Structure 1
Amino acid sequence: MQSIPVDTSRLGVLRCAVAPEPKIADYEKQEVKKDREGNTIYTVAVMVRQDRRRVSVIEVAVTGEPKGVIEGAEVRITGLEAFSWAMGDRHGISFRAAAITPVMPAPSKGGGA
């Protein structure tokens, strides 16, 4: 499966739509998916909005729990890659990232009343 790097600077504002959840590998056994080193894979639903266009939601997989990522918060995605997949008559695109981190708001300028 070939990965396709995604230029996140062209995606506009990214916001967490659904907080990080462990990715389930086997729903019958409720088995959590792990990477080769045994780390838990998490998924985060991310809202993508470009130039006042409608919002799209993509589900991004990432190794390890993204700390500080909460619903509604603006996020930064590092190392985003897309993968096309096909299983029988089903097909789609999945996304994986090296990291998902919250964007901290700029500190307000001092000089209180």
Structure 2
Amino acid sequence: MQSIPVDTARLGVLRCAIAPEAKISNSETQEVKKDRDGQTVYTVAVTVRQDRRRISVIEIAVSGEPKGIEEGQTLKVTGLVAFAWAMGDRHGISFRADAITPVHGTVLKAGGA
């Protein structure tokens, strides 16, 4: 699987849509996904909005639990890469980052204020 580096500076404002959740590798057994080093893999749903365009939501995987992230908060994503995948008739793009950290003092409260 080829990794494609993503320039996060060109993505506009990145905000947390859904706080970090442990990624499940087997839905039947509820087994939690681990990386090569045995760390739990977490996913964070992140909104991306470039130049007042429509908002997109991407789910980013990261090893180890990202700390201090709240929904609505502006995020800094380090080492973001995209991977194209295909399984039978299904295909898509997945995202992985080295780290996801909060930009403090930037929580967007419900109602858009």
Report % sequence identity: 75
1:74 aligns to what SS in structure 2? Answer: strand
Any residues of structure 2 matched to 1:51-62 within 5 Å, and which?
51-62=51-62
Partner of 1:24: 24
How far apart are 1:37 and its partner, in Å? 1.0
Partner of 2:95: 95
Number of matched residues? 106
How far apart are 1:104 and its partner, in Å? 1.9
Any residues of structure 2 matched to 1:31-110 within 5 Å, and which?
31-105=31-105
Q: Distance in 2 between matches of 1:78 and 1:15?
A: 14
1:9 aligns to what SS in structure 2? Answer: helix
TM-score, normalization by structure 1: 0.92
State the Cα RMSD in Å.
Answer: 1.0
* Runs of 4 or more above 6 Å deviation: none
Q: Which amino acid aligns with 1:46?
A: V
* Structure 2 stretches lacking a partner, 5+ long: 107-113
State the structure with more CA Rg: 1
1:10 aligns to what SS in structure 2? Answer: helix
TM-score, normalization by structure 2: 0.92
* Structure 1 stretches lacking a partner, 5+ long: 107-113
Q: Which structure: greater strand fraction?
A: 2
Q: Distance in 1 between matches of 2:94 and 2:67?
A: 22
How far apart are 1:105 and its partner, in Å? 3.4
Q: Which amino acid aligns with 1:52?
A: R
